[in-house]
Structure 1
Amino acid sequence: MTQPEVRPSVGWKEPPPQATPRLRLKPKGPQTGRVDGAWWPHSEDLEAEVPDLLAVLSIRLGPISYVLYKMTEWVKARGKILIGGRTVRLDGYHRQPSNTVEVQGLGGGKLVLLVVPVGTDADRAHAVMMTAAAPDNASTSDELLAVALDG
């Protein structure tokens, strides 16, 4: 007897974002590079920022299970938050690559996002995000953020 396909997103709906996150993603398909796009949060408070981000990313990943982040780059966050009736783990690490977050879905998919620093000039932040989301871009997070500092 064939086992039914497991679909963790069936019957699950992420609440809509309160504010549209400033986010750019590479198109679906074979990925290149070290990041899958870029996110420019409004603050350094991960707990406040992540619900709107996950509402958008859940369209691609389904239900989200984890957000991995660099501990020294965010205001201290609780280890778990409740979003749309589901518990999402926020795991901070000292060895997480700088200026990145990794978002993992229950189905095994993940996205690594460049985090554009909060205080970045809007024009430069836009340039960084567009570059990071280019399908053929293979730059490191440091190389991408150098765009924000040049000029």
Structure 2
Amino acid sequence: MTSVPQVAQVAADAAWLRLSLKSTAPVTGYVDGGWWPHSRDLGAEASALARAVTLRLGPVREIAYALAAWNPAPRHVGLDTTTEGRRVRLVGFASQDPSVVLVTGTSGRTLGLLVVPPETTDPAGHDAMDRAARAGNAESPSALLAAAGVRPDPRVPAPRRARP
């Protein structure tokens, strides 16, 4: 049973959080939705994201991210006292696509989310999130961002390509 404080916290997060998910229909494409954080401080952003996707994944175990795309992050973030002190592990990888975070629940289910850079203008940011959450969308993260007019941050290296 979900407690009233948990419901209130999720509602507060929803008003602040910029997140759009595909429906729970059969999964297609590279990503399951789009997330537009307010900053490159994953330690500050991760708790609200983890609480918001709990309805889809169950309790969140970890968030995997590209090291080059974020400011240095702690290894864990706490959710809050209403979740019995649960913590989410933040796992950074040098080889991960900087335009994606992978959110994994304790059930083992994972959501891949397009990360819209925080500096993006409102029209382009909303367009990128909408494209990422569109049913049947199978575009790559870089194609989604480009189609929305989002330019890559020159400070963040492009994802590595597989060698032929």
Tell me which interval the TM-score lies in, with the shorter structure as reference length.
Answer: 0.7 to 0.9
- TM, length-normalised to structure 2: 0.80
Uncovered stretches (5+) of structure 2, i.e. residues with no partner: 151-164
1:48 to 21, 44, 49: 44
What whole-Å deviation, never above 9, does each CA across 1:78-131 have from its counterpart, x for those lacking one?
111222311211000011112110000001111000000011110111111111
Q: Distance in 1 between matches of 2:69 and 2:145?
A: 15
Q: Is the 8 A contact 1:120 1:148 kept in 2?
A: no
Contact 2:40-2:69 at 8 Å conserved across structures = yes
TM-score (norm 1): 0.86
Say whether residues 1:95 and 2:91 are aligned partners.
Answer: no
User: Corresponding residue for 2:54?
Assistant: 58
Higher helix share: 2
Q: Give the Cα separation in 2 of the matches to 1:11 and 1:117.
A: 32
Mean Cα deviation higher: 82-91 or 57-66: 82-91
8 A contact 2:68–2:98 mirrored in 1 = no
- How many Å apart are 1:11 and its aligned residue? 7.7
- Aligned-partner Cα distance in 2 for 1:103–1:14: 19
Count of residues in correspondence between the two structures: 141
How far, CA to CA, are the matches of 1:144 and 1:14 in structure 2? 33
Identity of aligned residues (%): 39
Deviation at 1:148, TM superposition (A): 3.3
Query: Any runs of at least 4 consecutive aligned residues in structure 1 with deviations exceeding 3 A, and if so which?
Result: 10-15
